[in-house]
Amino acid sequence: MKRVIFVAAILAASGGVARAQQNVTVQSLLAQDFAVVGSITSPIGAGVFLQKKDRLFLCFVSETPNSPTVATRYCKPVE
């Protein structure tokens, strides 16, 4: 858990410099056997950390009271 907090602090300080990958969603990463290893809250919404071996992604999700699901806004690899 300390690693997740450390990574979140680095991302906040760097402005999230990692490039976005198209069509990457929480669901697509889970289908590739990524595991949820942490979560954060931020001014833009909830964030979920997903990890598989040495690959770590940060995905932001959003929802509204009327939405049927929580949708992935975007995911970025953490470098």
Average pLDDT over residues 9-29: 63
The structural domain count of the chain equals 1
Cα distance between residue 25 and residue 39, in whole Å: 15
At 54, the amino acid letter reads D
Range of the domain at 72: 2-77
**What's the token pair of residue 62?**
């959003």
- pTM reported for the whole predicted model: 0.70
User: Beta-strand (E) ranges in 1-79?
Assistant: 35-42, 45-52, 55-62, 71-77
Cα distance between residue 26 and residue 49, in whole Å: 9
Mean pLDDT lowest among 14-18, 37-41, 63-67, 72-76:
14-18
Bridge partner list, 76: 58
25-69 pLDDT per residue, tens: 999 999 999 999 999 999 999 999 999 999 999 999 999 899 999
